[in-house]
């Protein structure tokens, strides 16, 4: 089973990278002067945001491919990407306010980038609601694909609108000293590997479920 072997390989790599990343975050990277230890959440917050954009792009890409080719494989790939992407949006939304609480003194500030992640979270939550309601409906995959495409087009517009609307901004350019930069890169690799492992596992489950349904329908 090549998928299983890939899965084992990816999970071991992800575990090793995350162990290295956690070690570097807590022992190697220096404590930031202004924000203190809370700044360390940055090493997981920012990579999660980057990874979730990549996954949502994959969900868009495979949705478009599914509409075009109508092969179930693309639907499974799109669905899994959206699901794992949603997990990382949630991570961004959890880690953001922890940082925000120490930086701004409040758990939630209507800050543009964080707010657009909230909208993103709501959009993709609705996508899963649709999947939930239309379980076992053969048409559902196509409908979900259209929603994923529309949602993806909406992302930059939402971001633009919210950044005009809000006034407080994220630091545009962060200057990192070398030890911090290395920690950040290792963190990025660790989060990417974790996402890839999750994605592969989710895809495997998705495929197995589809195969089971098929067996039940055509015994």
Partner 1 sequence: MRFLKVVAIVFLKDFQEELRRKEDVAASSLFALLSLVLFAFALDPTRVDLNETGSGLLWLVVLFAGSLFMGGSFRKETENGTLFALLLSPCDRGALYVGKFLLNFVFLLALEALLLLFAFLLLDFRVLNGLSALALVWVLVTFGYAAVGTLFSALLAQVRGGHVIFPILLFPILVPLVIAAATLTEQALSPGFSWGNQWLRLVGLFDILFFTASVFLFEFAVEE
Interface with partner 1 (CB under 8 A)? 67, 119, 122-123, 126-127, 129-130, 133-134, 137, 139-140, 142-143, 145-147, 149-151, 153-154, 157-158, 160-162, 164-165
Q: Is 32 helix (H, G, I), strand (E, B) or coil?
A: strand
Q: C-beta of 156: minimal distance to partner 1 in Å?
A: 10
Length of the chain: 219
Transcribe 156-176 into DSSP letters: HHHHHHHHHH------SS---
Contact predicate 106/81, CB 8 Å: no
4 or 160: CB nearest partner 1: 160
Q: C-beta of 101: minimal distance to partner 1 in Å?
A: 25
Dist CA 74 CA 69 (whole Å): 8
12 or 125: CB nearest partner 1: 125
Both tokens assigned to 56: 């949502």
114 or 162: CB nearest partner 1: 162
162 or 190: CB nearest partner 1: 162
Dist CA 155 CA 148 (whole Å): 11
How many CB atoms are closer than 10 A to CB 123? 20
Q: C-beta of 114: minimal distance to partner 1 in Å?
A: 14
Q: C-beta of 7: minimal distance to partner 1 in Å?
A: 32
146 or 174: CB nearest partner 1: 146
Q: C-beta of 44: minimal distance to partner 1 in Å?
A: 25
Dist CA 35 CA 43 (whole Å): 14
């Amino acid at each position: 089973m090549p998928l299983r072997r890939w899965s084992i390989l990816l999970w071991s790599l992800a575990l090793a990278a995350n162990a290295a990343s956690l070690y570097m975050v807590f022992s190697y990277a220096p404590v930031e002067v202004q924000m203190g230890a809370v700044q360390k959440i940055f090493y997981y917050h920012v990579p999660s945001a980057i990874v979730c954009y990549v996954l949502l792009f994959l969900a868009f890409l495979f949705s478009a491919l599914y509409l075009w080719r109508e092969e179930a494989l693309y639907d499974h790939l799109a669905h899994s990407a959206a699901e794992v992407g949603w997990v990382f949006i949630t991570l961004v939304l959890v880690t953001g306010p922890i940082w925000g609480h120490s930086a701004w003194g409040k758990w939630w500030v209507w800050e543009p980038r964080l707010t657009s992640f909230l909208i993103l979270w709501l959009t993709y939550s609705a996508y899963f609601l649709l999947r939930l309601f239309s379980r076992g409906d053969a048409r559902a995959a196509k409908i979900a694909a259209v929603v994923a495409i529309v949602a993806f087009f909406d992302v930059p517009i939402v971001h633009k609108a919210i950044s005009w609307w809000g006034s407080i901004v994220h630091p545009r350019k962060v200057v990192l000293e070398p030890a911090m930069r290395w920690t950040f890169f290792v963190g990025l690799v660790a989060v990417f590997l974790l996402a890839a492992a999750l994605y592969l596992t989710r895809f495997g489950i998705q495929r197995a479920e589809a195969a089971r349904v098929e067996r039940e329908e055509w015994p």
